[in-house]
Structures are given as structure tokens and as C-alpha cells.
Amino acid sequence: MHTQSRFSLAATAFWAMLNRDLVVTGREFVSFLLQALMQPLFFLFIFGKVLPGIGLAAPAFVAVMLPGIVGLTTLVASMQGVTLPLVLDLGFAREIDDRLLAPLPIWLVPVEKVLFAAIRGIIAGSVIFPLAWLILGDRYAVRSDHVAMLAGMIVLTASVGAGIGLLMGTSIKPEQIGLMFTLIFTPLLFTGCTYYPWGALNNIRWFQVLVLFNPLTYAAEGLRYTMVPPIAGHEIPTLHIAWVLAALGTSVVVTLILGSRTFRGRVVS
């Protein structure tokens, strides 16, 4: 006993905690997918099939919107993977105590939660592609020359979502859940350049500046950069990819640091 190195103890505990989360999610995989995909499914159908079908949206709109939906789904699925469970756990369930007593540094416990939530987000975001292909038919258009970059964007988007989820999950009290979801989720959804490209906001300058405070804007624009094929020979304008990467990278780091600190504040008094 007690002969293993610190590192191997912590690594084993970390992996066991991740394995526990994966086992639990695996058991309710169908409900997880339904929860993550219901909304994007309807968005794809209405905005990609119905509106263009009745002439209320330009066919090119679909190509611009699809990256927004991938970004939103990835971000929200990873947020949901950590926010609600943490609010309940830290609020009253305290199931997490068992993991806090495992022989590893406390900050690895929230990091594990973030990693797991990001995996959820990556799965949810990736499933959008075959679904979109099925629903959109001819209108499905994703360029194939940026695949590695696209994968990277999804991972980054999922990490941002998980980071925000950690920060929210450790800051919100159970009795505030309803209000906070309205106050945070709704603006996040509608100011994230999901359904419109950032470049098109030139005419509403104040709004164009405002949306830059939403990480989802960078995720959606980065995904547009990696997904939307040239339309009529023209690349569509997006936020510069360097800005996108810098903003998303910063968001991950900042939310992780702040989230781990609030987490520590909640579990050690």
C-alpha cells in the first residue's frame, strides 16, 4: 500500500472518474442524443428545408447557417454536460465528495468534468453532419479541404462550452437555475452569430461590436471559415481565423482558471 507514485495515483483516479462519467452517459446515450439534437434538428428542418422551400430564405443561407448550428449544438451540449450536474451536486447531492476524497489534486476534479463535458459536445456537434446531410439533401454543402481545422474548431468550441459550463455550474445556486438559464442561455444563443454571419452585421455596428463579447460568435465564425464552400466562386467573409483562435483559446483558459477557483471555493471552506 501507499507505494504508487503521486502521478500514477492521480492519473488512475482521473481516468476512473472519466470512465465513471462515460459509463453513466453510455447508459443514457439515447436520452443524451435527444437532449442535444432535438433543437438543431428542427432548426435544420425549418431553416434548411421549409423556409428555402417556400421561398422565404435564400438557398445559400443554409450553407451559412449550418456552421452556426454545429457551433451552437457543440457549445450547448458541452455546457449542459457540466453546468446542471455541478449545480445539483454542489448544491445538495454532494455525490462529488467521493471524488474529492480520491488521492489527486482537487483541481483535477473540475478538469475531469470539463474534459468529459467537452467529449459530449464533440459527439453532439459531430452527429449534426450526417443529420444535416440526411435532412438537407442537395442543399448540404460543406467544404472538405479544411477537415483537420474543422475538427480542431469543434474541439475548441466544445472546450469553451465546457469551460463556461464549469464557471456557471460552480457559481449558480440550485434555486437560481431557472433564472440564470434565461439570463445566460437566451442572450448566448441569439448574440452568437449562429443564424447570421458576423460580416453581414456591418449595418448594425453597435450589435456587431456587442456580439464580439460572446465566445459563440468566434466559434460560429471559425466553423464558417472551415465549412462554407466558396459561393459563386467567392469565399464568404468571416472573422479572421487568427482572431477566432485567439478568442476561443483565451476563453478556454480564462473559464478554466476562474471555474477551477470557484470550484475550489465551493468544496473547500
Partner 1 sequence: MANTDHVPAIEVRKLVKRYTKSKTNAVDNVSFQVRQGEIFGLLGPNGAGKTTTIGVLTTAVLPTSGSTCIMGIDVASDPISVKQRIAVVPQQSNLDRSLKVREILTFHAAYHSVPRKEREERADKLLDELGLGERKNEKVNRYSGGMAQRLMIARALMHSPDVLFLDEPTNNLDPQSRLFLWDRIRELNKQGLSILLTTHDMDEADKLCERIAIMDKGKILVNDTSSELKKMIPGGNALEIRLFVPDSVGADAPARLKTTLEGLPGVSKVEEMAPEPAPVAQAAAVPAGSWARFGAAAAAAAPQEDPGVTTYRVYAENAGSLTGAAAQAVLASGCEVRDLHLKQATLEEVFIYLTGRHLR
Binding site for partner 1 (CB under 8 A): 1-2, 4, 6, 8-10, 12-13, 16-17, 19-20, 23-24, 93-105, 267-269
CA atoms of 268 and 207, how far apart (whole Å): 41
At closest approach, how far in Å is the CB of 98 from partner 1? Answer: 6
- Nearer of residues 144 and 269 to partner 1, judged by Cβ: 269
- Nearer of residues 93 and 253 to partner 1, judged by Cβ: 93
- Nearer of residues 20 and 143 to partner 1, judged by Cβ: 20
Q: Cell 478556454: give the residue.
A: 252
- Nearer of residues 88 and 212 to partner 1, judged by Cβ: 88
Q: Cell 460552480: give the residue.
A: 170
At closest approach, how far in Å is the CB of 116 from partner 1? Answer: 13
At closest approach, how far in Å is the CB of 218 from partner 1? Answer: 34
CB 160 within 8 A of CB 252: yes
At closest approach, how far in Å is the CB of 161 from partner 1? Answer: 21
The residue count for the chain: 269
CA atoms of 83 and 233, how far apart (whole Å): 43
- Nearer of residues 53 and 103 to partner 1, judged by Cβ: 103
At closest approach, how far in Å is the CB of 129 from partner 1? Answer: 29
- Nearer of residues 101 and 242 to partner 1, judged by Cβ: 101
Helix axes 215-227, 241-267, angle to 10 degrees: 140
- Nearer of residues 46 and 93 to partner 1, judged by Cβ: 93
At closest approach, how far in Å is the CB of 15 from partner 1? Answer: 8
At closest approach, how far in Å is the CB of 11 from partner 1? Answer: 9
